[in-house]
Amino acid sequence: MRILVTVKHTPDLQSQRSFTEGAVTRTAEDGSMNELDENAVEAALQLIEAAGEGEVYALTVGGADAVAAVRKALQLGAHHAIHVSDEAIAGSDVFGTATVIAAAVRKVHAEAPLDLVVTGMAALDGLTSMLPTALAAELDWSQLTLASGLTVADGEATIIRHLPDARETVSAPLPAVVSVTDEANTPRYPNFKLIMAARKAPVATWSLAELDLDPSAVGASAARTTVVDASERPPRANRQVVTDTGDGGTALADFLVERGLV
Amino acid sequence: MSVAVLIEHHGGQISRPSFEALTLARTLGTPVAVWLGEEPPADAVAQLGEYGAAEVRVAAIGDDARLPAKAATAVAAASADSSVLLVISTFVNKEIVTRVAMSTGAGVVVDAAGAELVDGRVETTQTVFAATWDVRTRIETDRAIVGIRPNTTQAAPAPTAGDATVVGVDVPLPETRERLASVEAVPEEDGVPLAEAPVVVSGGRGTGGDYTLIREFADLLGGAVGASRDATDEGWISHEHMVGQTGTTVTPALYVACGISGAVHHRGGMQASGTIVAINLDPDAPIFEISDFGVVGSLFDVIPQAIERIKQSRES
């Protein structure tokens, strides 16, 4: 079984993030792999372990610091790492990003067919969760998204999808794009041997030219949306904290009554 | 200008956020309701008219509406003559609009708190980075798709009702690779769904697994019960109740956090709420940093007293 996992470099959620000229700027320290992508790597590793054979490719798109995300995937047990990096990609919207990832997936798929692409359900810094659908549509592969459970048998993948109104079981033939939620599994910790090996493991770096992509099809100029204004929300004004000495509940109720909320 | 609104409905009942979306749609143009699934009952059609829908476009595709590729084809056909498509920003609708955008070239903003027309383009507002930033985004394309969060517009009937003319949308659906093997309905809780609730009372580790007081407080305030990741991981309450970035994002007028420390994942799912109130034993709990009113104390003492006081104040 051959599985490609997309991973994204995101800043630590506690770190400072801001907007400059309509683009996200991040403090350089503390960045790592998007936490929800750990579930994607774990899902891929569990599938090849169950199958008794297979290879996992970790793919990331981004600037020089993005390579940290595929290194993390190698530490967890991925076999190959690919970093797509090109200045022209900066400022891409979800459709541009899907175009780039789809081209990289096709390149790997052309070398030897892939069975699955596995992604996290969302990037915790962007969280629009549109990418897995966009990727499946772009590749014209099966779309199995928001999986809280995943099995593969007889050339078909089956997921459990936990929606607010129903639990769905959805099946589709391979190849498929699967996004997994944080309910799907518990990610493993990297072991020392893999950490050491990951340091020396090669990372393939591909530019748009190697993916045969026209730079004008991606990046800020192709994006369908523009950030026109961004400002940090001010902290809540007039915050009050009281310590309960026997009348905390009354104080809370009076606050709610005063605000007209009850 | 025609503004298509994808209506959410369960068992023929229209969900509250759909009326909010229709209200918002009227500020952009003439609303056209899009209805997927079973045929809408007559009273639902009448309600859509009250909120200004000029037409109700019905794609009676049954359970096929559950497959994003089929739903997207139906929505694209039903909204083909609309410059703007509004949907409620749910995980499923985000999948549908991604495919609609890919087939039509429309620009998309999801998780928006508002939308308006500026110089002929749709501009949206939303909060990002766990609701610590406000962002205004312009959709640069002629067709715009906006996913709007519940509780961000005050729903109000139209001053002049729309005709709500029912029009069938007959569109051949594509064959999809995906196949629904089973659909098991999640038993409906009494009261309001979490994402739509105007008040949410959530319990976390501090409940020790006992949600009796949380439910009682939520019932009193006419709200829904939420939970932290800790509580759902412990199996104290089902995953549908989880408030947070990977569960349900809520923006109620009032959010009450009981025994929840306020980990970053949780805050990201509730920080944009109107008023935030917290009860926690730990005075250093991060939840107090984002609360309008906090009580350092035990929820088992504070909630019963608050309930009594609110009942008294309602009687007087």
| Sequence spans of domains, chain B | 2-168, 194-315
Q: Closest CB to B68: pick one of A141, A143, A233.
A: A143
> If you search the block for the tokens 């204004």, which residue do you land on?
A229
Residue B66 distance to chain A (closest CA, Å)? 9
Task: Output DSSP code: residue A25.
Answer: E
CA distance A137 to chain B (A): 7
Domain B194-315 is of which CATH architecture? 3-Layer(aba) Sandwich (3.40)
The residue ranking higher by pLDDT, A45 or A91, is A45
CATH number, span B2-168: 3.40.50.620
pLDDT digits (tens, 9 = 90+) for B72-84: 999 999 999 999 9
Contact A231 B92 (CB under 8 A): no
Work out the pLDDT band at A28, boundaries 50, 70, 90.
very low
Contact criterion met (CB < 8 Å) for B184 and A167: yes
pLDDT tens track for A66-109: 899 999 999 999 999 999 999 999 989 999 999 999 999 999 99
Residue B316 pLDDT grade (very low, low, confident, very high; cuts 50, 70, 90)? confident
Q: Which amino acid is at B242?
A: M
> H-helix or E-strand containing B141?
none
- Among the partner residues B140, B185, B298, nearest to A166 by beta-carbon distance: B185
B282-312 as b/e, with b when 16 or more CB fall inside 10 Å?
Answer: eeebbbbebbbbbbbbbbbebbebbbebbee
Eight-class DSSP state of B23:
H
For residue range A105-148, what is the model confidence (pLDDT) as tens digits? 999 999 999 999 999 987 655 556 899 999 999 999 999 999 99
Residues in A touching B308 (Cβ below 8 Å): 249, 253
Q: What are the residues whose beta carbons fall under 8 Å from the beta carbon of B17, sequence distance 6 or more?
A: B8, B88, B148, B150, B151, B195, B196
User: Three-state DSSP class for B278?
Assistant: strand
Average pLDDT over residues A23-28: 55
Task: Please name the residues in contact with B42: beta carbons below 8 A apart, sequence gap of 6 or more.
Answer: none
What integer best gives the mean pLDDT of chain A? 89
> Rounded to a whole number, what is the distance in Å from the CA of A204 to chain B's nearest CA?
30
Q: Chain A: nearest CA to B4, how far in angstroms?
A: 19
The predicted model gives B173-177 an average pLDDT of: 93
Strands (E), B40-175: 55-59, 84-88, 107-112, 114-118, 121-128, 133-139, 144-148, 165-168
pLDDT at B145 over 50: yes
Question: What is the C-alpha end-to-end distance of chain A, expressed in Å?
Answer: 57
Domain ranges of chain A: 2-222
Minimal C-alpha gap between A200 and chain B (Å): 34
Tens of pLDDT along B275-304?
A: 999 999 999 999 999 999 999 999 999 999
Residue A166: the pLDDT is: 87
B172, HSE (Cβ side, Cα atoms, 13 Å): 2
- For chain B, give the mean pLDDT: 93
Instruction: Count contacts between A and B (CB, < 8 Å).
Output: 247
pLDDT band at B189 (very low <50, low <70, confident <90, very high): low
Please tell me the predicted confidence (pLDDT) of residue A17. Answer: 59
Residue of chain B whose Cα is closest to the Cα of A20: B135
- SS3 at position A144: strand
Q: Which residue of A has its CA nearest to B198?
A: A261
Which tens digits make up the pLDDT trace of A144-158?
999 999 999 999 999
- Interval A18-26 mean pLDDT: 59
Query: What is the per-residue pLDDT for A58?
Result: 96
**Which of A10, A97, A121, A261 to substitute to test the interface with B, most B CBs within 10 Å?**
A261
Nearest to B141 among A18, A170, A224 (CB): A224
B63 pLDDT band, cuts 50/70/90, is confident
| CATH number assigned to the domain covering A2-222 | 3.40.50.620
Check pLDDT > 50 for residue B88. yes
Residues 6+ positions from A207 with CB-CB distance below 8 Å: A84, A85, A86
Percent of chain A's residues with pLDDT above 90: 68
pLDDT at residue B172 greater than cutoff 60: yes
For residue B137, the chain A residues in CB contact (below 8 A) are 225-228
